[in-house]
């Protein structure tokens, strides 16, 4: 008897919520590659970053919205979904975790605020190969053919080759027609930021309140960045790490500061 090759177990999650069109695309594509389990938020969780739920209980509900796919909605954040999937649903590590397809960009500094990417990062912290997919088109009505194509180009590579230790992938898909799509670029995160401009309003009781708005400002003109690649019609693939240490700054601080205890 020869050993039968088992299908990889693939955890699918997102931050737009389990009813979003983007996660359905990802579920359909992952079904072609392995056994899929969905654990996703029961409501939109955009901008939740790496938030976890400490002071509230969490609930999980089995749902039957994806044909032949085991799926659960969860009251928590995207990171909570991954933690619950590993500890209570799969009761072990899946072979791959994919998050998305996010409706909107998670390139550049957006990776920091993104629930989509934080879910993938949580999986990577757990030692699971992980990818976040985001599409630069916010509309729930958008044509998802190009995201499907990019998912088919990237996900099988991760299943085949794995990823370097403690690394996950941030994949962004440009909002161009398939005929203008140029392929994949492996890039670095552009050094860009949001310039906040809160909108100030007055409520019916005469009290001020604020809505967060802002403009994305990119002064990083490098042709090795995700912003550059996306602007040219490439899908950007940025390898992401959760060691936030600025290693190059350690010797600088030791030699420039006089610190009690640090001999330099």
User: Is there binding between residue 49 and a second copy (CB under 8 A)?
Assistant: yes
Letters for 214-243 (x = contact with a second copy by CB under 8 A, - = none) are: --------------------xx-xxxxxxx
Look at residues 256, 252, 261, 11 and name the one whose alpha carbon lies nearest to residue 129.
11
Q: How far is the CB of 57 from a second copy (least distance, A)?
A: 4
**How many whole angstroms separate alpha carbon 185 and alpha carbon 139?**
24
Helix axes 21-31, 145-161, angle to 10 degrees: 50
Q: Does 157 bind a second copy (CB under 8 A)?
A: yes
- Residue 207 within binding range of a second copy, rule CB under 8 A: yes
Under rule CB under 8 A, residue 110 binds a second copy: no
For residues 76-112, one letter each, b for 16 or more C-beta atoms within 10 angstroms of the residue's C-beta and e for the rest, the string is bbbbbbbbbbbeebbeebbbbbbbbbbbbbbbbbbbe
From the list 9, 5, 18, 135, the residue with the least C-alpha distance to 81 is: 18
- Kindly tell me which of 30 and 111 has the beta carbon lying closer to a second copy: 111
Using CB under 8 A, which residues numbered 164 to 193 contact a second copy? 164, 166-167, 170, 182-189, 191, 193
Residue with token string 């550059």: 228
User: Applying CB under 8 A, does 260 fall inside the site for a second copy?
Assistant: yes
Residue 85 CB, shortest distance to a second copy, in Å, is 10
Contacts of 109 (CB under 8 A, 6+ apart): 189, 190, 191, 192, 193, 194
| φ and ψ at residue 29, rounded to 5 degrees | -70, -40
Q: With contacts defined by CB under 8 A, name the span among 22-30, 94-102, 135-143, 255-263 that binds a second copy.
A: 255-263
Q: How many CB atoms lie within 10 A of CB 244?
A: 5
Please, which residue, 27 or 168, has the CB nearer to a second copy? 168
Instruction: State the nearest-atom distance from the C-beta of 4 to a second copy, in Å.
Output: 27
In the list 14, 118, 129, 137, the residue contacting a second copy (rule: CB under 8 A) is 118
Is residue 247 involved in binding a second copy (CB under 8 A)? yes
CA distances to 63, 84, 85, 88, 128 from 92, in Å: 21, 10, 8, 8, 10
Half-sphere exposure of 44 (CA within 13 A, CB side): 9
Minimum distance from CB of 252 to a second copy (Å)?
6
In whole angstroms, how close is the CB of 3 to a second copy at the nearest point? Answer: 26
* Piece of the chain touching a second copy by CB under 8 A; list 29-37, 63-71, 111-119, 137-145: 111-119
Q: Which is nearer to a second copy, 60 or 101 (CB)?
A: 60
């Amino acid at each position: 008897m020869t050993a039968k090759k088992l299908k990889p177990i693939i955890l699918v999650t997102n931050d737009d919520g389990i009813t979003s069109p983007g996660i359905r695309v990802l579920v359909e594509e992952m079904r072609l590659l392995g056994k899929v389990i969905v654990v996703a938020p029961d409501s939109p969780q955009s901008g939740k970053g790496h938030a976890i739920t400490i002071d509230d209980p969490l609930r999980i509900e089995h749902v039957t919205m994806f044909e032949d796919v085991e799926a659960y909605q969860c009251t928590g954040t995207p990171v909570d979904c991954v933690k619950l999937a590993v500890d209570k649903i799969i009761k072990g590590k899946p072979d791959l975790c994919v998050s998305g397809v996010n409706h909107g960009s998670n390139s550049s500094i957006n990776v920091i605020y993104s629930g989509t990417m934080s879910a993938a990062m949580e999986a990577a912290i757990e030692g699971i190969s992980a990818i976040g997919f985001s599409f630069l088109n916010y509309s729930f009505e958008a044509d998802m053919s190009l995201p499907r194509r990019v998912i088919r180009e990237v996900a099988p590579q991760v299943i085949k080759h794995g990823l370097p230790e403690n690394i996950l992938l941030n994949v962004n898909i440009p909002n161009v027609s398939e005929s203008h799509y140029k392929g994949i670029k492996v890039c670095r995160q552009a050094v860009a930021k949001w310039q906040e401009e809160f909108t100030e309003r007055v409520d019916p009781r005469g009290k001020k309140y604020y809505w967060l708005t802002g403009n994305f400002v990119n002064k990083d003109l490098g042709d090795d960045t995700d912003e550059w690649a996306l602007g040219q019609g490439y899908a950007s693939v940025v390898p992401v790490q959760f060691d936030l240490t600025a290693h190059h700054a350690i010797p600088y601080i030791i030699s420039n500061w006089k610190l009690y205890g640090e001999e330099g």
